[in-house]
Structure 1
Amino acid sequence: MNERVTIRDVAKEANVSIATVSKALNGVDVVRPMTKEKVFQAAKKLHYVPNLLGKQLKTKRTKMIGFYTHTIVGPYFSSLIEAIAEEAEHLGYGVSVIISSDKQVLRSHLLGNMVDGFIGFESLIDDEDLAIIRGEHINAVFMDRQIKDFSISSIVFDSRKAGRWATEFLIAKGHEKIGFLPGHPGVYDSDERYRGFQEMMAEHHLPVNPDWVISGLFEEQASYCNVLNYLQTIPKNCWPSALIAGNDLSAIGAIQAAQEMGLRVPEDLSVIGFDDIDLLRYFEPKVTTVQNPIKEQGRQAVIELLQLIDGVKEGENHILPGELVIRETVENYEE
């Protein structure tokens, strides 16, 4: 087995001091461009790989950030993680994606100095965990709750306002019997969207019929099955005229169920979703939705976290606005 190439070997090849090699490879500007190029060429020729462990011990940085969640299923997470990874790489960091429902795994990573900070999208992190994060001054950015502290920020989508917009839009179209497909209970975006829906219905003195609140779980299949079961078992004269789905996948599932029952969307049933995922480009009819800036949320989460890591700021809340995107699945209500 060949011996590992060291910084001493690079210095000898480039005919410069070890200190000059270190400064050149670490971007210190005191090294002349010609000398720096000579060092780079020597390192390339010898296939030199820096001793990252030693560097981490010296700088107390891993140059890694964590992203913690119990699932990455669905187009929302693929867009989010892609944005996080791209921005982190652009800023010189790697991303460790931890997918687990085991609290011990989560705590091991939080307290094990495996990352310089983390982006959290995980309901497993409870008040006890937050107390540890605060006490240990662990740098963190949450995307599923509004919270701030010295080393903690949040970057969240204004789901409550989005829920209000979707409801107000349907009411303006003449709909009064409006149903809702919430996601998983206790999930920030689902709860906030439903809260906005309730508020707007109350402001217009319209009832929220519990029979019209159909579990969607943020999933296409669950929404399809539950809406289909509802339409098959409840008399037609008791149906709502419109459905607000907790996200776009739920909207797609609800539309498929309605079509299977022979309903036309939007003529017989209007449907609106949230997020504006890329998948909507390939689905017919074109789904009206409230756009969630998913990629921007991921990008800003990385920037915010690195500022916390560098100690240039304290934590704060950031709320990102959405935008109503009107397409084909909502129509004026007529008796």
Structure 2
Amino acid sequence: MSKVTIKDVAREAGVSISTVSNALNGVDVLHPDTREHVLNVAKRLNYIPNLNGKNLKSNATKVIGLFITSMRGPYYDQLVDSISKECEKLGYELNIFITKNDRTALSNILGKRVDGAIISNEFIDEKDVAVLEEAGIPVVFIDRERVSKTSSSVVFDSYKGGQDVARYLINLGHKRIGYIRGYDHLYDDIKRYEGFRDTLLDANIPFYEEDLLIGYFEEEASFSAVKAFVRSGKDLPDAFVAANDLSAIGCIKALKSEGILVPKDISIISFDDIDLSEYFTPPLTTVNNPIIMLGKHAIERLLGIIRGEEVGKLDKLQGSLIVRDSCTINKNILIR
């Protein structure tokens, strides 16, 4: 089967080649309907820009692309700052693309606007990843485990983190442990929850689905979820695991607003160890996420691929449990 060309897309869409080029490269000269029509045709035909074309044989751009869906929260603050500093130190510029449109992301990557990409964007799906690999684009993922000749993954070992928080609470005598999830389609949330549930299962400790709340990795959403749980009249678990520190902070604030004190009445534990976690009241017991090292490793792996010095590999960075004051021994165990 012959490769689809830009001429094929233009013919199928009923527009000129220049219109297709402008649509694919995000040039703001087209009517939105025209641009959407062209992009839909290109996607349907599975068009891949010709990376061997004359206009793509120029020198390296010395630009790295970071593709994310949000800049909200301390996690992204630290990650972007780490990657930016590494790029500056190594003589590269960093372009940040905040988008939920996979075609926009692919256009910028395949159009050689960057020498390589660091991706933490769930909207770039497995089909898109296959396209990038076929095109031989250097990529590092920090939101999934994906390895090929030109693709590396640098991830936080969230599964082990989930194991660590569960074991810590079990060792404190907690028998009923609730969980506040983030987004159940994201790598870190999936792995943290799996590690937690598997550890409870190994210890023959049941998990009650009514103790599973959704906090979307946000303080406000976790506050609302916990407050609604308390006001429902359901029995509180001995402890809550929060999917990140912001969720833990929202949880503690909601409990406090209902007259429930941490850790006197309930233990709270979380993930990431953001700056605020040490100074919050009570200071949070949390699993440290080496976000700065994550950014540094991502750049190192990406430049290794770009320079032809290495092929793709998987790095799992370990966190450590930081014990502070938001957890305590289960009083019911002491009473016995």
Identify the residue that residue 258 of structure 2 maps to in structure 1: 261
Q: Where do 1:39-50 residues align within 5 Å?
A: none
Q: For 1:226-245, what per-residue CA distance to the aligned partner results, in whole angstroms no more than 9, with x for missing partners? A: 0000001133xx21010000
Instruction: Tell me the distance in 1 between the aligned counterparts of 2:156 and 2:126.
Output: 22
Unaligned 5+ runs, structure 1:
1-55
Post-superposition Cα deviations, 1:51-70, rounded to whole Å, max 9, x if no partner, equal xxxxx987620000000011
Equivalent-residue separation in structure 1 for 2:292 and 2:233 (angstroms):
40
* Contact map agreement 1:75 1:279 (CA 8 A) in 2: no
Q: Does 1:307 align with 2:304?
A: yes
- Residue type matched to 1:190 in 2? D
Map residues 162-241 of structure 1 onto 2, 5 A cutoff: 162-235=161-234, 238-241=235-238
Residue type at the aligned position of 1:250: S
Q: Distance in 2 between matches of 1:87 and 1:219?
A: 28
Can you list the C-alpha shifts for 1:165-201, whole angstroms capped at 9, x where unaligned?
0000000000010001111121000000000011000
User: Which of these residues, 302, 307, 314, is aligned with residue 317 of structure 1?
Assistant: 314
From the superposition, tell whether residues 58 and 203 of structure 1 become closer, same or farther in structure 2 (CA, over 3 Å): closer
2:240·2:268 contact (CA, 8 Å) conserved in 1?
Answer: yes
Using the aligned pairs only, state the percent identity: 38
Contact persistence 2:140–2:154 (CA under 8 A): yes
Runs of 4+ in 1 over 2 A off after TM superposition: 56-60
How big is the shift at 1:131? Answer: 1.1
**Cα distance in 2, alignment partners of residues 234 and 144 from structure 1:** 37
Q: Give the match for residue 28 of structure 1.
A: none
Aligned match of 1:73: 72
> Which of 271, 274, 279 does residue 271 from structure 2 map onto?
274
SS in 2 for 1:214: strand
CA shift for structure 1 position 302: 0.6
**Deviation at residue 143 of structure 1 after TM alignment:** 0.3
Cα distance, 1:223 vs structure 2:
0.3
Pair 1:248-2:261 in alignment? no
Q: Retained in 2: the 8 A contact 1:65–1:117?
A: yes
Q: Does 1:333 align with 2:320?
A: no
Partner residue in 1 for 2:19: none
In structure 1, the partner of 2:289 is: 292
The CA RMSD over aligned residues, in Å, is 1.2
* Cα offset, 1:128, TM superposition: 1.1
- Partners of 2:90 and 2:63 in 1: how far apart? 11
Q: Which amino acid aligns with 2:251?
A: A
Q: TM-score, normalised by structure 2?
A: 0.81
Deviation readout 1:11-39 (Å, 9 max, x if unpaired): xxxxxxxxxxxxxxxxxxxxxxxxxxxxx
How many residues get paired?
278
Task: Check the 8 A contact 2:56/2:112 in 1, yes or no.
Answer: no
Compute the TM-score of the two structures, normalised by the length of structure 1: 0.81
